Amino acid sequence: MATRGKYSHVIDKLPRLGMVEPERRDLVEAVKAEILAPPDDGENLPWVLDLDRALDMIETHVRELLRLVKRSTAGRPRAAEFARAYADCRDMAARIGEWESSLNLLTEAFQQLMVDQMEVEGVTSMKLVSGRPVSTYLEPYAQVTDKETFRLWCVAQGLERQMALPWGTANALTKARLLEGEPEPDGVTCYAKTKVRLGGK
């Protein structure tokens, strides 16, 4: 793939990183195989998908569903009613999350197929029939492979004030200290936050 842009003088010296994380590779490969499978006899496949129309229909149904759930407790301001509606919302979010996960996987598969085929065809950009441009380019992507060596480098560069533990680590560390009867770490304020647990069906 031809490279251009501000990184063109360094990009060829860098090893190529795969487009798919190793733990997702098998999933993406399975979806790519489904995409590339020849049509079955009698399979009615559209040449062009009327995506806007299909999405408009889905959006109409989702908006109506949201309206119905929003009003499902009208006139019944009781904890049990709000809890039922809360569970309904969580169930809807879970279903939508499953659809989003499947769509993200499909997007990854098409992206990889597109990039590979663009390389075969020797192109880095094109315009869709709709006029929307699609292009590919290479840019550096850093991965920390030795955390301690990188930490020492950051300190040597005067970057220690920009360094912080990820929130999840800092939160877990604070919780562990509180369980042991110790105060929060310096610079951390701990609050009591309400969490809600919803059991399975």
**pLDDT for 29-46, tens place per residue?**
999 999 999 888 878 877
pLDDT in tens, 73-130: 999 999 999 999 999 999 999 999 999 999 999 999 999 999 999 999 999 999 998 8
Per-residue CA distances from 169 to 86, 165, 188, 191 (Å): 29, 6, 12, 16
Rounded-to-integer distance, Cα 74 and Cα 144, Å: 53
- pLDDT one-digit tens code per residue, 118-175: 999 999 999 998 899 999 988 888 999 999 999 999 999 999 999 988 999 999 999 9
CA-CA distance, 89 to 87, in Å (whole number)? Answer: 5
Helices 25-36 and 79-121, axial angle in degrees (round to 10): 70
Angle between helices 79-121 and 51-71 (to 10 degrees): 160
Neighbours of 171 (CB within 10 A): 13
- At residue 1, the pLDDT reads 44
